[in-house]
Amino acid sequence: MQKHALGTPRNVSKNKTILINSDIIQEDNKRYEFVDPAFELWLKKQYLNQSYTT
């Protein structure tokens, strides 16, 4: 959590709940994944400096 400046464990838990309730992420077999793959690509590009390549 420190590496990515995510805040406290309570804050991470609260944000996870908000993302699930907003249909941005979903839990599947104890893993979390984005509901909208285009949003995932945008997030990776904006915040993780990853780009989409074909």
Judged on CB neighbours under 10 Å (0-12, 13-18, 19+), 37 is: exposed
Is residue 13 in some structural domain? yes
What pLDDT, on the 0 to 100 scale, is given for residue 4?
75
Residue 24: inside a domain: yes
> Model confidence at 48, in pLDDT bands (50, 70, 90)?
confident
Q: How many domains does the chain have?
A: 1
For residue 39, being part of any structural domain is answered with yes
Residue 52 is assigned to a structural domain of this protein = no
Residue 32, classed as helix, strand or coil, is: strand
Taking the C-alpha atoms of residue 3 and residue 19, their distance in angstroms, rounded to an integer, is 21
- Count CA within 13 A, CB hemisphere, residue 27: 7
- Residues 8-27: tens digit of each pLDDT: 999 999 999 999 999 999 99
Determine the pLDDT at residue 35: 94
What is the value of pTM for the model shown?
0.69
- Based on the number of CB atoms within 10 Å of its own CB, is 41 exposed (0-12), middle (13-18) or buried (19 or more)? middle
